[in-house]
A and B are shown apart, each in its own frame.
Chain A
Amino acid sequence: MSRFFRGISILVILAFSAISIAEEVSKEQIKGLDEQVQDIKKDVLGISAELNLLEEKLLYPSNTQISLFVSVSEKDKFRLDSVEIELDGKAVAHHIYSFKELEALQAGGMQRIYTGNVRTGEHELKVGFAGQSIAGNEHRKVDTYSFRKGAAPGLIEIRLSGPGVNTKSIEFKDW
């Protein structure tokens, strides 16, 4: 029994020594700091939005701006592996998709794969993609699209579909 009490007294001493060195963090401190973090996030987001507009004006003026967006058809769940894009014969984008990116596309997101500058007038896009059907079969397609770039910014959506869908594998939409 005496061993038991000795054990308890050691524990009490240990507990007190631990308390004496511990620095406490209060709920108020956590909340206060959290609010400051929220404030700085707001400030940085403000800078980011301003910077987006500046970059757009500086790097991609509206009369020459062209943006290409990739989306996938919601009708089937093929696995998109990669996309390659040529604009007027020049390779401008090549992207290999992670699962996370593919899931984001399948959930309805659109990826801005390229933003650049072109003259007003006629242009040609060549898009190729590689993927796999649900059954695991390889699925590769290439298609071209001609469009006219006017004075306003050009926005073109490239919609990709798997082999199971009764539509074209690559559809273009000039917004």
Chain B
Amino acid sequence: MHGKIFRLAVLLFVTHSAIAGEKERLELKDPYFGEALYYAHQGEHFDAISRLDTELKQYYGVDEPQLDSLYFHINEAEFSVGDFELSYRMHRRAGRAIQAVIEGNVDPAVRNEAIFRLARIYFQKEQNVNALHTIERIEGDLPSDIVNDVAFLKGQIYMVNGKFAEAEKIFQSLENAKSHEGFAAYNLGVSRLAQEKEEQGISSLAKAGQVSGKDRAVLAIKDKANLTLGSRLLEKGELQAATQYLERVRLDGPFSNRALLGLGWAEVKTEHYDRALVPWSILAKRNVTDQSVQEAMLGVPYSYGKLGLYGKSALNYGRALDAIGTELDKLDSSVKSIKEGKFLKALVREEIKKDRNWVIRLRELEDTPETYYLMSLMASHDFQSSLQNYLDLEQLRKRLESWDENYNSYEDMIALRRQYYEPLLPGIDAQFRKLDSVIRLRLEQRDRLDARLQSMLVAPRPEFLATAPERIAGEAIAKLEKRIGKEQLRAKPDVAHRIDRLKGYLHWNIHTEYDERFTQAFQNLYALDKDIVRLKEIYGSFVRTRQAATQSYEGYDEQIRRLRIKTRNALGTVETLMARQGHMLEVMAVNQLVQRRQRLEESQVKARFAMAESYDRATMSQSQPPEVKAPDATSPAAENGSEKSQSAGQDE
């Protein structure tokens, strides 16, 4: 019994985590992180991890990560990559990544959140003791948005480790938390029942069965609580109360079939066979691949028999036998088709997976017996995870094949670039070298001018700012002086006077206009600087473009060669794993279907006996007054194990 309860609780976690996952929107400061979230929100976990891995690789590769925009999200990014890996069923890597956060130098709240996530991984992988030891390491502050999630997980971990009293306390404290309403009450009820606190357990389950909300998960937990409670009361013989709870299960919900079956049994136990016919007749018309439906198909004629309507009973047994026969044929063709490899081909049909309900669509396809029973196969966790692995491998195979083709395109592109640039670049480089030396010379001249002007601020040198005509005139005067000679000038004072006047004129102009000229010189230097800035921009742009030209075809060969080898190796591994995983899926599916076949054959044998008996009684009743009681051997409970059916709620 405890084992069943534990399995229920484990299943619930998955449902609940979907609700708890809805957090407030993060204010984004890195668009690439936003891109990873965009993929993750669509369930494209490979792309999400790949994007985030690339970003993290770049972030840790830069010298100053605090300048990178991912710096603002680095904790979320580390956690998110762990979350995405979990969603992508990479538990081992997710666990290691989270362990690294725990061991790192981080804020206690961040560390506690990491511990919570690690405990959740252990819990999901059914490593219950590890989960317990991990969750108990949480000490101190927790981020406010996960306080209830942590408590809920702790309660679940206590339950799977048999610590029901501790679990009860936790779920009790969560009963009024809006985000966990229903889920906490359900688990509270289960943990109380496990401690044999019957009354309290029933009351908690009853509360869980009446929570308000239109969310699919909430509606499902309500149904589940009502079904569990109804089945439990049915087992205890409290039939009226059981009926009340079973009737609360929605007719279109996932637990409806088992509830209808239970309702029929509750009526049969009180010998209200006519009333049992109501739920069982509804159920018998549903999809015959469901085990509850098959059981109801035998329940209907059984009830007719009990009501003394042997003819009708025999007819209904006949219908059930026909349905069972058809079902057995379907099973045979399913098994045959699976063994022919059609099952795996159907699973990877692209057009089907675009539909959210692709599993149901597959079942409804015509002429595909290999997928009739996919829904019921999906109920097994092992099958489900193996199927997911197979689909993931198929996705990897497609990616690797497309990458392998891309390498050829990249090589073509590189070859074209090389072909274009290689003949051009030597000429461009030679021209650039000439220009480069001229640019350098001019830049040196500018720097010399700047230095001279700066020194003139301290020690004015007006002669430096003489104009070209003034310099020519000065030189001409000097030459004239030299040619005349000092002796002659002394002899001709008028000539000497004239020369002095000319020199004085020049000197006057140069010195009186010095300030103005000096200001003008600075203004000219500033104007020159603007041109130099523009020159440097063009120079930088040219250098980058020149580098980009080389980089557009140099240095890729080795990288592409390495990537191609890795891709092909990975493709080989993926194909091998796909073959193994596919074979495993086929074996699991065939085993399941063979088991189902055995059960159906048992029902078939019993139905045949019961039909023969009903015919006998119908014949007898024509000559004798009708007997109300039918023999026990024809009871569908005896045929199919009524105990199992009645405790369907705990038998997940």
Contact = CB atoms under 8 A, between A and B. Distances in A.
A54 B577 contact: no
B42 A48 contact: no
A38 B573 contact: no
Contacts of A135: none
A52 B413 contact: no
A108 B544 contact: no
A64 B551 CA distance: 13
B340 to A, nearest CB: 16
B450 interface: no
Interface stretch (B43-51, B289-297, B473-481, B641-649): B43-51
B335 to A, nearest CB: 10
Given A38-B90, A110-B28, A112-B35, A44 B385 contact: no
Contacts of A100: 42-43
Interface stretch (A18-26, A82-90, A123-131, A137-145): A18-26
B41 A104 contact: yes
Interface in A37-62: 37-38, 40-54, 57-58, 61
A110 B567 CA distance: 29
Contact of A40 (B89, B396, B544, B588): B396
Interface stretch (B147-155, B252-260, B386-394, B520-528): B386-394
Interface in A1-45: 3-4, 7, 10-11, 14-15, 18, 21-25, 27, 29-30, 33-38, 40-45
B93 A18 contact: no
Interface string B372-404: 000000000010011001001100100110010
A49 B566 CA distance: 13
Contacts of B35: 69, 109-112
Nearest to B30: A175
A124 B540 CA distance: 24
A120 interface: yes
Interface size class of A (residues with CB under 8 A): 35 or more
A50 B92 CA distance: 21
B163 interface: no
B591 A25 contact: yes
B570 A44 contact: yes
B26 interface: yes
Contact of A52 (B51, B88, B559, B609): B51
A101 B39 CA distance: 9
Interface of B is mostly: helix
B587 A23 contact: yes
Contacts of A81: none
Given A40-B570, A109-B37, A7 B92 contact: no
Nearest to A100: B42
A72 to B, nearest CB: 10
A71 B32 CA distance: 12
B41 A49 contact: no
Contacts of B385: 30, 34
B591 A33 contact: no
Interface in B510-562: 540-541, 544-545, 548, 551-552, 556, 559-560
A137 B382 CA distance: 48
Nearest to B602: A11
A109 B54 contact: no
Contact of B25 (A47, A107, A111): A107
B38 interface: yes
A15 B563 contact: no
B247 interface: no
A50 B577 contact: no
Interface stretch (B262-270, B435-443, B593-601): B593-601
B28 A33 contact: no
B31 A175 contact: yes
A44 B404 CA distance: 12
A132 to B, nearest CB: 21
Contact of A61 (B386, B540, B552, B633): B552
Interface in B590-616: 590-591, 594-595, 597-598, 601-602, 605-606, 608-609, 612
B584 A30 contact: yes
A103 interface: yes
A115 to B, nearest CB: 11
A67 B35 CA distance: 12
A155 interface: yes
B40 A109 contact: yes
A171 interface: no
12 contacts: A10-B605, A23-B591, A47-B566, A52-B51, A58-B413, A58-B414, A104-B37, A107-B37, A108-B41, A109-B38, A111-B38, A120-B541
In the A-B complex, the 10 residue pairs with the closest CB atoms: A109-B38, A110-B34, A104-B41, A108-B25, A48-B50, A7-B605, A109-B37, A52-B54, A49-B53, A69-B31
